Amino acid sequence: MVDLLFEWPENAAVGTRIPKERFYSQGSVPAGTKNKFVSEIARITWTHKLSVDTVNVPGLDDLAEIDVFRIDTKDGELSDSVLTAIDKAIPRPIIFEVTRPTAKLGSGNGVIRMAAAHKQLVSGSPKLSRYYSTGWMSLTQKRSALPTAINLQVLYAALIDPLTPVEIQPGESMSEVAERFEAIRRLDREIAALERKIRTERQFNRKVEFRRQLKTKQAQREQQR
């Protein structure tokens, strides 16, 4: 993961405020998530639209636009369920910029971060990975130029790349990256469970077996990085 923000092109600017009721008024959004929209979010703004017309990068049949949303939170809290509701309501990939009030900050803390999930645009409801995020940064953080890309799919992968805790391999799609990261999370849980067993197991033979399994899981995890 790299803490950075992108310099969105001026001609891609939209600047349209979207009422949060648009997302939680739908019957498919659980009541708990609706409450979080109200308690956590102050404002949602569609800030930029990345398309062939605005960034001169060609789209594909299933990906003609990437949107950038800014979410101003009330106190820095923002639940993944809220982001999921927004992502499912918009049939395009979204990069989120999340802000929190400076009045809530201590010395040296940031006020903006970037977040996103990999979105697969399949028929029906989009398929989402878990959400990735940078750390909090200052609003004066120097922004990085958009990555060079031959099409919007490549650009989308490059925008999400700094958020992911694993290195994207050449030719690897974001869905493959998401699957690899989920495999790492699963292996981390299995490794932690084996380490607990080793600490508490009294029988020597069983402890040896747990150590063998632990080495195997650790090797599998290293292969996934």
Q: Is the pLDDT of residue 106 over 60?
A: no
Q: Is the pLDDT of residue 37 over 90?
A: yes
| Helix (H/G/I), strand (E/B), else coil: 44 | strand
Given the structure tokens 């799609």, which residue do they identify? 173
Question: CA-CA distances (angstroms) from residue 162 to 10, 110, 133, 158?
Answer: 22, 18, 9, 8
DSSP 70: E
Q: Is the pLDDT of residue 105 over 60?
A: no
Question: CA-CA distances (angstroms) from residue 27 to 24, 107, 123?
Answer: 8, 42, 20
What is the rounded CA–CA span in Å between residue 79 and residue 156? 23
Q: Is the pLDDT of residue 191 over 70?
A: yes
Q: Identify the pLDDT of residue 125.
A: 74
Confidence of residue 163 (pLDDT cuts 50, 70, 90): confident
Confidence of residue 154 (pLDDT cuts 50, 70, 90): confident
Taking alpha carbons only, the member of 180, 196, 143, 156 closest to residue 64 is 156
pTM: 0.80
Q: Is the pLDDT of residue 47 over 60?
A: yes
